[in-house]
Structure 1
């Protein structure tokens, strides 16, 4: 099953109301938001972190912000470093590099969501492709990742 099919199956299994928004291909999450005409603070950008011991974390932040690793450390009581896309591409199946869906549990990853995203009425995230976004309510997004923790950890 392709990642896009797996994502759609998961969304339907959770009875999540969503739609898919096509846009001109883009190479960054912020550019995808711009091309799709959506506010970057509603665009969920996954950032993959490693705790220096092989444990990975998906930190989900608005496309308009950056992860503050010190704040993530304070929330999790572990030190983290950014994982480069070239180092994790295979883990995310057939997703285009840089277009990973911001749904960590789909990949078996612990997920941390910045508090500012939980306050958004609508959330958009990459579908696994550089030319389409998944759109849903913020409430449905958080219900899709029930194990996710939240806190303020971006700048």
Structure 2
């Protein structure tokens, strides 16, 4: 079980309780939810967004996709999905494709879908393809309180 170093430092600095859940290797967020036997709408996945002002992180449930049109309307800026190389550069302490959803740990502005607020439990990538971080929903809400909260996903 591996937590990315910047994520672990950030989580420890907040003082919020969290645990980890090991699961068989899974390449995508949806596969991760299945492998860990957690509800897909309670597993937060991160999507790196490219915009003129620099990268930002969009966070949606693992069984949803970012609605780029809605996000562009909210931000009033042209944007698109970041390239894989950009993900690797930003999340350089993580396995390829296993980026945590806590943008603050990486100095990224973050926008999170409203559906991930007020849940009983939330899981998210720890930085590898075999470990999730598990938090009580109220603690996750506090962890993400500085992120923008909007309706940014489609099923």
TM-score range normalised by the length of the shorter chain: over 0.9
1:4 matched to which residue of 2? 4
TM-score by length of 2: 0.92
Hey, which bits of structure 1, 4+ residues long, moved more than 6 A?
none
Shift of 1:122: 1.0
Q: Deviations over 1:106-128 (max 9, x none)?
A: 11110000000113221100000
1:85 aligns with 2:78: no
Report the Cα distance in structure 1 between the residues aligned to 2:40 and 2:49, rounded to whole angstroms: 21
TM-score by length of 1: 0.92
- Which residues in structure 2 correspond to 1:16-95 (within 5 Å)? 16-51=16-51, 53=52, 55-95=54-94
What is the root-mean-square deviation of aligned Cα atoms in Å? Answer: 1.6
Report the Cα distance in structure 2 between the residues aligned to 1:121 and 1:25, rounded to whole angstroms: 25
Structure 2: tracts of 5 or more residues without a match? none
1:153 matched to which residue of 2? 152
Report the Cα distance in structure 2 between the residues aligned to 1:81 and 1:72, rounded to whole angstroms: 10
2:139 matched to which residue of 1? 140
Structure 1: tracts of 5 or more residues without a match? none
Report the Cα distance in structure 1 between the residues aligned to 2:137 and 2:84, rounded to whole angstroms: 26
Report the Cα distance in structure 2 between the residues aligned to 1:69 and 1:24, rounded to whole angstroms: 31
Shift of 1:54: 5.1
For the 8 Å contact 2:118–2:137, the answer to whether it is kept is yes
For the 8 Å contact 1:3–1:93, the answer to whether it is kept is no
